[in-house]
Structure 1
């Protein structure tokens, strides 16, 4: 098989390049007479200047985000969000342990800790990960480095800092590494603190403040055939505002352990990994920007193991056999409030002794049977079990002033406890991926896949039916309430994707076009049960919805261009990059073809960059079209089109790297198409209604990193 080399500019690749790796190492075929495999790492552009959320890194790879907290935005791939996207942190799965998904997997790692990151949208190899229909995002911090000396000694380190004016954001990062020829020890930490940011009108976007810290300690030991790695991690978020939720995060404390083992044999490789992650999560209120008195708590634990054996059949092909196990458990309860007639005298048990267990078997074949053709195909079989114990309401119902308080939830609890709370599904994933190099400058990539995702515990087992109980459920930021459905079915997606790439003979430009189509059976959407209006003001109604299975269709197209446009000794090298993306999603049925929720409208970007010695300058223009296709069931708002201009300059001087950036240069006011509604603003002044969450105004961002 062709050798591997490192390609140091990850953003010059078409989206479907990332489909061609069976182990989440993106591949592209070089302009050569032979087929050359290139392993792409996303850390080349990081330099530890990226601090805080990993959103800044992943957005460059085509990932959109649904607004949530400052470090907890939910990724969206090809119009699909939340659990439909599989997110791996150092190969481990972490489950969002919250009724609002306030602690999604990406919130547990800071951008400065990331050494490589990969995105596989749509058609992904079965070995990349199961239980998803949108694709796989993998971020990694484990990257042991060794020296030629036998004594353990200082290897390298860094300190980084960043300040942003729009939110008075302060971010700090630090790393230190000791190494020998057999041992590597690495510590990385980060601290982030920000006030609520200002929009383009200079108004504060309420309840967008946060504070977070992440720490990791990784040790690795090796010999000439094998390597063992152990990583310890800890996160502490004392508070994080969620402008588009009724609650805020008042604490998130987690601990994790990841252990990896790899061994090379004469004609095969073995890799094993075990993971443990525990989190205690509190929701409530901490700021005058959104007040309340209701507490909510979750205790959750993820335990998993993965065993993978890759066997080389010959010089051009291999087979991967794998077995994976995942166990997730959670308790979600809402403590009673002393003296409250409505929220007491009992604790409200929302998810009691909840469990979600997956067992998977994987077989995958990969072949490079000519200089022009590469093939990956595989099958994944998973058994998925979900279950919960009996629940309880705050009370059995009581009378106050002629009103019956709590009765609906008490009846709902009894009905839920009397029904089935244990469900097992067996699903089959399969894929075929083909890369064909037509000529040295033409490449065709084709993919087809069947993928499945079983409902999460909240989609199946959120049993409350009152306005208060239901509005605590949901990660959509829409102000509506949600009820679970115990017999909810598994989502099954059939996806087809094709990419054609053309590049210049002298490699001065590269044009990539991608189209994709996904047909989803039993897509988990929500139907209206009733509506409510907490303010009594016309136009402020919200809906109570119940999760249900429908059929849905999503499709889209992407065009990406990279080109070198000028080069001289005085003015350096100039490059242009441009892309345009359009995504559509709708229900597919005789009764309804309404648009799906949070599908981003047509968007395009045009950027020009200049590299002169150690200085890199860039100008980026982004335009997003008017959003008119909205989900009426969720009262999704339409948004106006907008454009943003960003300027940045980065210079490297010895061990220092300095970055100066101005985002939203013209301080434009705009509303986030994927932002949801401002519940914090509604609670401050309900006469304004549920307005769309506004984006960040002009911000001057300064970042400095020192490596030693």
Structure 2
């Protein structure tokens, strides 16, 4: 194995930093004083915590190299994949479903990206390591976290710090790796019984990477986030918290005509929680939030304008999306019955400005082009809570409103035929699920869910055309309706954890993008509704072979059919398997991860979503990764890994075509993934 001089330099710098850190940080107990088995290996795959729910700690070291954004972290959960476009800010895909079919929340608030082609998707603003808990719900099996969510719900959460006496909680980490990858994270909480102050932040950076063929792939990024919260905890059951945050980034994209020159985030929030209320009334929760994403795209900050492209001169587009909302919910419990009920709302405004020439966009006025409103009410009921058989059901109603504020559309600034029009929709969602413990170690479930989803910004405002006969997408694209059956089994014992989940769904008025050649203007897109079917399954197992040895694996398969056109549904990930083996000792752990992906030949070339289309069939591949971890003390741990050990050249099926600005051919070619990658990470908790 060879390591580049730049990688070696980065690792050398980190080793010096680690030596200084070890000398400076308080170490509560040396490893020799309290030997014990490590809590966990480096994360290579995740298993469900309970039926349909995945709960994990996003701070844990993971492989491949620790994530730079939320979508990258989700790839360790079977069923998730990422629509790749280079180094960072890929778009998450769950079971082949994309966009607002996946509801993403951070601290129970929505931060929605502003780019018309989702260059800044919601997870690009999330730094996983700054959160305490990641919760995933697969399928339309909950109604309490917002409208839509036909594919699932993803929640990044921070816990409420509790102190019996004045004290400090400190979490910090540093990472270095190939191609100048270097990350830093700090999370500091100071508190007492009556309250706390929490400050956290992170910084992540990487240069362009090289693929397995040694070709440089434009992919550099640099990003940072910072958040602060002040909480009042007058007793063990009450918290009132105020928080604020900000962040920014740059990112170069091998598969886009522009790069991200700014990802400015501004966030404000407040929440109140009260537990153990009198009588059957158990919990009251309320929160409000304000999130603003100010995103700048241009073709001159991180690249040189291509004189032979559709944008031969320096150009910039500045887009901004402000999202605010709130939620109030209460829980009641009577013996084996639990009820949750509440209301929520969300308002979102989108605006933009652009300019030809360097930084001329700053002299242009902002123009609002879209306004979204949603009001919702929900309830969930659990019968048999705590018993061997549980029935869980929920209902939700939403009132959605969208206003088209565009005076003109398209690059030619033609008059907008739907200017000033308002769309209103009444939407309903619900589910019913039964869970049964067949034995202390075996649980099964079966659920049916229904979700009605208002078309999102990218489906109403980004397409160049709408369905045949409609003046545009805003006027013609109908709400999407999903009905899905979910089934599964979960087995947990001292020597074996195993699970399997399967699903089958019908999607009425599925929103599909068709790509057409626009000549010198590039591709033109049309959004329309089709009827579709989806099905698939995921499975996994962890076997403890001996006191210190583990063997595990996961499998994920997704299938989709466009019933209206009698062809495959586009953007479906291929069959994927992960096999991991590991050793867990008192101070050392080590492991290996084999990832194998089959070829995908069920494709629909020229069809897809607002970000990408099927580029044709893709080849299968396999990669091997190694990891190790050493517990220096109870507070200090060192992790290391080698990804793509054999330096394979390969590309993911869900991918953007390489941009001609960087020398990629005119015929669509997928962007290759990184070649061999070495990383080293230090975690400290006090």
CA distance in 2, matches of 1:109, 1:288: 25
Q: RMSD between aligned alpha carbons?
A: 2.9
For 2:180 and 2:268, the matched residues in 1 are separated by 33
**Change over 3 Å in CA distance of 1:253–1:135 after alignment to 2:** same
Counterpart CA distance in 2 for 1:486 and 1:243 is 34
Q: Distance in 2 between matches of 1:88 and 1:17?
A: 20
Q: How far apart are residue 706 of structure 1 and its match?
A: 2.9
Match of 1:79 in 2: 96
Tell me the matched-pair count. 622
Aligned to 1:645: 624
- Unpaired runs of 5+ residues, structure 1, are 1-6, 21-25, 27-39, 395-405, 471-481, 536-541, 568-572
Q: Does 1:366 align with 2:395?
A: no
Change in Cα spacing, 1:123 to 1:79, as seen in structure 2 (3 Å) is same
TM superposition score normalised by structure 1 = 0.82
> What TM-score results when the alignment is normalised by the length of structure 2?
0.85
| Counterpart among 674, 683, 686 of residue 705 in structure 1 | 683
Helix, strand or coil: the match of 2:568? coil
> How much does 1:362 deviate?
0.5
Check whether the contact 2:418–2:474 (CA below 8 A) recurs between aligned residues. Answer: no
- Deviation (angstroms), 1:247: 1.6
* CA displacement 1:557-589 (0-9 Å, x = unmatched): 12211111122xxxxx11111111111112112
Equivalent residues of 2:464, 2:525 under 8 A apart: no
- Matched residue, 1:548: 528
Matches within 5 A, 1:302-321: 302-312=323-333, 314-321=334-341
Residues in 1 aligned to 2:273 and 2:387: alpha-carbon distance in whole angstroms: 29
Q: 1:415 aligns with which of 414, 417, 436?
A: 417
Deviation of the 1:380 alpha carbon:
0.4
For the residue of structure 1 that corresponds to 2:673, the secondary structure is: coil
Moved over 4 A (4+): 7-16, 46-51, 289-292, 336-339, 346-349
Please state how far the C-alpha of 1:543 moved relative to its aligned partner.
4.5
Equivalent in 209, 233, 239 of residue 222 of structure 1: 233
1:337 Cα deviation from its structure 2 partner? 4.9
CA offsets per residue over residues 244-283 of structure 1, 9 Å max, x none?
Answer: 2222111121210121101121232110000001222111
Separation of aligned partners in 1, 2:567 and 2:365:
35
Task: Go from structure 1 to structure 2 and tell me whether the alpha carbon gap of 1:55 and 1:658 turns closer, same or farther (over 3 Å shift).
Answer: farther
Report the equivalent of 2:401.
385
From the superposition, tell whether residues 69 and 220 of structure 1 become closer, same or farther in structure 2 (CA, over 3 Å).
farther
Contact persistence 1:587–1:594 (CA under 8 A): yes
1:389 and 1:43 map into 2 onto residues whose CA distance is: 40
Mapping for residues 76-115 of structure 1, pairs under 5 Å? 76-115=93-132
Report deviation, 1:486: 2.4
Work out the CA distance in 2 between the residues paired with 1:446 and 1:534: 52
User: 1:524, 1:548 within 8 Å by CA — same for their partners in 2?
Assistant: yes
Q: CA deviation at 1:319?
A: 1.2
2:416 and 2:445 map into 1 onto residues whose CA distance is: 54
Match of 2:645 in 1: 665
Contact 1:577 1:607 in 2 (8 A): yes
Higher relative contact order (CA 8 A, sep 6+): 2
Distance 1:257 1:191, change over 3 A: same
Provide Cα deviations, 1:584-616, integer angstroms capped at 9, x if missing partner: 112112xx1222222111111110011010211
Q: Which runs of 5+ in 2 are unaligned?
A: 1-38, 307-312, 608-613
What is aligned with 1:163? Answer: 176
Deviations 1:145-170 (A, max 9, x none): 23222xxx5502233211121x3211
Aligned-pair distance for 1:8?
A: 8.5
Mapping of residues 318-337 of structure 1, within 5 Å: 318-337=338-357
Instruction: Answer with 193-202 or 434-443: which moved more.
Output: 434-443
> Which among 551, 572, 577 is matched to residue 576 of structure 1?
551
2:52 partner SS? helix
Task: Tell me the alpha carbon deviations over residues 139-192 of structure 1, each in whole angstroms, 9 at most, x when there is no partner.
Answer: 11x22323222xxx5502233211121x32111111221110121111111111
Contact 2:347 2:373 in 1 (8 A): yes
8 Å contact from structure 1 (residues 78, 122) kept in 2: no
Relative distance call for 1:643 and 1:377 in structure 2 (3 A) is same
Paired residue for 1:557, among 537, 547, 568? 537
For residues 47 and 554 of structure 1, the distance between their equivalents in structure 2, rounded to whole angstroms, comes to: 30
Q: Which residue of 2 aligns with 1:281?
A: 295
- Is 1:147 the counterpart of 2:187? The answer is no
CA contact (8 A) 1:485 1:546 kept: no
Q: Which residue is 2:60 aligned to?
A: 45
Check whether the contact 2:266–2:291 (CA below 8 A) recurs between aligned residues.
yes
- Is contact 2:209–2:217 with CA below 8 Å preserved after alignment? yes
